[in-house]
Chain A
Amino acid sequence: MMPILLIPLLPLLGFLIVGIFWPFFKGKGHLIALPLVTISWAIATMEFFKSFTAPPSLTLVYDWIRSGNLDVGISLQYDHLAAIMLFMVTTVAMLVHLYTIGYMHGDSGYDRFFAYISLFTFSMIMLVLSDNLVEMFIFWEAVGLCSYLLIVHWYERRPSWLAANKAFIMNRVGDFGFLLGIFLIYDTFGSVRFAEIFPAMASHLHETVNISAAFGGNWHVPVLDVIALLLFLGAVGKSAQIPLHPWLPDAMEGPTPISALIHAATMVTAGVFMIARMNPLYNAAPFALHVVAWTGAITAIVAATIALTQPDIKKIVAYSTMSQLGYMVMVCGLGGYGAGIFHLLTHGAFKALLFLGAGSVIHSLSGEQDVFRMGGLRKYIGLTFATMLIGSLALSGIPPFAGYYSKDLILVTAYQQGPLGQMLWLIGVLTAALTAFYTFRLLFLVFGGKERFHSEAHGHAVHPHESPLTMTIPLIVLAIGAIFAGWAGEHYGILNYLAQELPLPQVHEGAGGLSENALKGISVAVGFLGIIGAWVLYGKESAVPGALAKNLSFFYRISLHKWYFDELYDAVFVRPSFIIGRLFWQELDKGVIDGIVNGVGSFFRGSGVVMRKLQSGQIQNYAMVMGIGAFGLLAFYLVFNRL
């Protein structure tokens, strides 16, 4: 029991020490934060290996709310799903802590940064260990808060806080749905604990809820579908699925370690994790599952098309993250929760690797992020190149790297789910080709070809340099993960391990068509096809990409402008909000509210000006008034004989 409690507690301790006493650390915050996270990782690893034989455990840490039949505790539910997630989360968190020492060296907010990533690690661990929806929601919000705080790390820069606000507000939209989903669950099941909700699922299968009751309507829909969709809205926000995705690429304004830890490996996968955790609910809500699957598939392909043309190295990787999250969500929507979690884990390794590698590239060029101002870096930063090559191969799904196993599992699972699955499989295969293409486009532009960074606008010569050991060690460790994680997962039977919580999807009999090996062959083939395409277009200097962009300018513009989502939201939500805000500000607030307040003020001020005349300060005036008053009263008495 105790060791599991220590896993979240140690990063929390690190946050408290570094966060409260940060002025005393003066750039030494890692001395506290890193060892604590490392111990936490060691415990998580030990517990993970023990979990193969040990039964799942449930520890109540704190009995938080007990009111009527509402029973919310802060508990640690340690089962196979949590164990393997914790292993991944703490590993990446530890490596990112280490990487940060080199990457953020000399930054004015160095210790603050360590405090926040420790807080994030704590929140993410608690999110994974939650045993009820309220606890999950709290830490769901906490990781969102940490994401905000870390995106806005360089708060003097306007793009940083704009991106941070965008991330926070977009997540708020999703969290609204999540919260409503929790309310509806409590209303339906009378409990928010997983252990009580899941067994009761069958008895609510045919229950309906009138969703237009507020408008006097009478529109009954299955309650489980509504709950599942509302919770999924939260996942859409957190995991950057269409339509709540634009915050994720913008979040790349934050420091690169954050992009790797929060916006690639852990936090954005919380949505997928939540769907997997709630799988009995989703399995009982067929309509919601269709929505989930389609959302994931559309996100996967749209993000992949956007990544084709982006010039910013981190945005390319960000869109590939979005696309891979789309895969995970899609396969969850087809019932393959285990495959989704498997891809989540391998993706955590190779995407963190790609981000940290991108950070190393940016670091070596002193902050340059435009891939068209890089090139030929292979000579200078060989280690970064080697590790990023491994990460790219893993992302492209080339055997024997990690992405091959998990992505193929997703595609095979999809294909076996009947006609819908095969349609989504086709989208997935197309996305896989695009993924391989844009990944290697990035690789060729950054590491191959001519050196284009000399002609940059800064005016001074640039000398690319390999990053310090603290940054390269995480790259090497993650590269090992990117090579072996997939093989290990398949070899040790991750699906059977996870089957304790995540039931295996049923193979749709009679789907016919291609065998499993043929499917694997196809996805590897499209991966190679994408790489060859990238080599042809970007392997050496050629005029083909420019000519393609000109001839297909319609598609090129759509891709470059990210399908105009930002412009659409700007026109539909942002501008009207500003107009309404301005209306309330100028007319209601300044006109009516200020009018009343200022009116009261100026009334008394005006009457004061008039009344002030009476107060001449001349005693004789006062005496005169007194005398007239006395005579007046006397005269009144004498005339009317009464007072």
Chain B
Amino acid sequence: MLRFVLAFLLLITPAAAQSGAWVTTGHAESRLIAEKTAAVPGETLWLALDQQLEEGWHVYWKNPGDSGLPLELSWTLPEGFEAGEIGYPLPHRLPLGPLMNFGHEGRPLFVVPITVPVDAVTGQTVRIDVFAEWLICLDVCIPESADLSLAIAVAEEADDAPRTAAMIREARSALPRELGLEARFADQDGAIVLAIEGAPAGDAYIFPDESGLIEPAAAQPSMRSDEDLVFTLTPALKYRAAPPEALSGVLVVSMQGQEVGVLFNAQRSDEALSLAAVPAAAVAEEGGGNVVLIFAFALLGGLVLNAMPCVFPIVFLKAAGITQLAGADRSEVRKDAYAYTAGVLATFAAMAALLLALRGLGAELGWGFHLQSPIAVGLFAVIVFLIGLNLAGLFEVGTSVQGAGQGLTQKKGAAGSFFTGLLAVLVAAPCIGPFLGLPIGYALTAPPAAAIAVFLALGRGLALPYLALAAAPQAASLLPKPGAWMVRVKQLFSFAMFGTVVWLTWVVSLQAGPQGVLILGIALVASSLAAWLYGLAQEKGGSTLLRAAAALAIAIALAPLFTLTAAPVAAASTATEKIPYDEAMLAQYRAEGTPVFIDFTAAWCVTCQYNKRVVLDTEPIKSLFAETGTVFMVADLTNPDPIITAAIERQGRSGVPLYLYYNGEAEPEILPQILTAERVAQTLEQAG
């Protein structure tokens, strides 16, 4: 029927039209238009499907994204005429819940080149028919189709068709361009790192040609590194099942409100496209741009760590150790400081080596990774508890101890100081303090030797105050004369240890649930029994029986800890208006221009908890979030999460806390690791 009507219309308007009649379907109007007034033998005639879509509805790009179907055109052409590929307008991102589509809204023009044969007979009018099928969606989808037709003269010469020539030319000039850009990609830490050389500057987005390779809804953080525009992309199923050798698509860059599409065809790179360039770029932004600065930051950051809430328990422990130096001679003070420093450095080096090795094996881990295991946290709690009991005087450490009373004058040995250093690092590790984000971020992507050097600089910073003591051992003589006060101070500091145990128990409760707390509680009781028995053995002058009983008790304490497994439990969320980290939603909010604050946090990160209690969860800040319409996203790293780890690394960082604020800019604002209400308010009010 439709064909008949069209044919009829063509019959009564025998002159070639250059634009076919509009055909109305459910949610679109469509027609076929031509650039020229005639088809010239041996030349290319550009046609276009001109669609006017209903407001809010969209059709799809050649790669439709998570769902949808691209346009299909079935041509019926005169003898010898040939239709080329569809030239799609630049795609747009069309988010739909957690999914993402690529498509077109408004009035898309799909251009198609038609090759006119050399032997086409001039002087006649030919008919070009196309059966067009497309899927049009709001949130619901409707397949539509239309028979479209166009009559055009075949002539030796052709003029621009009025109106339609300009439309088609504009559409053709907006097609993605082949600029011959060098592009390469590599897999890194579960992400695809795509580097496009000489890409134009601007807000950029990658639309892959093929579906199933890049997760359409995932954010595409990008940064500039020398001549390259470097994207971090999330691989989709097909990519993960069979990593391809080539990756092609369209890079769409918007510059001053103008969108430009550039074709790229990236080849897999043999050498890893190390993102070492990324932190380097970040350093450059912060002013220095050289390795010296990274080491300086590491040293300074290590020093400042001593004042971070997470290291407090160890500072108390160390202080308890220092008080025992009262009346000690200088060589002993030195020995103690060196032993502590050695403990710090050895532990840093060992942990860095372990972390780098695990990452080399493909694990998505950041600094502080060991506290993501409830077993490690449980063991840690037992150790800290035993230290507390030791400080409280339940038992003594050391082989030469014959009676508890002698503990008064018993100097803590070098081994004890070394152990304190070890503990300081284990506790400090989950904390990223001021200045540390950059060096640790750098270390994780740098070659192993450089990475370990950075960690050692950090350790030196952490140990610096005590090294200073070694340099000036006479300072220890400022301490009061040895006496009963030393025991009292130790006992007092034991409470800092017990406080730490409470914190660690809370972490276990979040990681392993009530069952985990029960197991840890049993372990704590059994270990205190062991400590008591051990203390008794010391009093009795080393009774073998009691020591065996103590060993048994400690075994009973530790064995069940290894059954702890990460089993997140549902706990009542007290936070208001906070939403979990979601890259698709983040992309959507950013596209909408909605300000977003992201809190990268973890239960085991004391600094994070401090910021939460003191700043983020306070009424004035909460109401400021509401007033400014800022979305509060929580990226929780209490248990391992590769996506959150990757997101942190994209900022050139490697651990929590990290606070990001997006407000229309391509790059987020990074807030300091120690928040103040004023600082957060200042950021949030930008959107006010």
Q: Does chain A bind chain B?
A: no
* B contacts, CB < 8 Å to A: none
- Interface residues of A, Cβ cutoff 8 Å to B: none
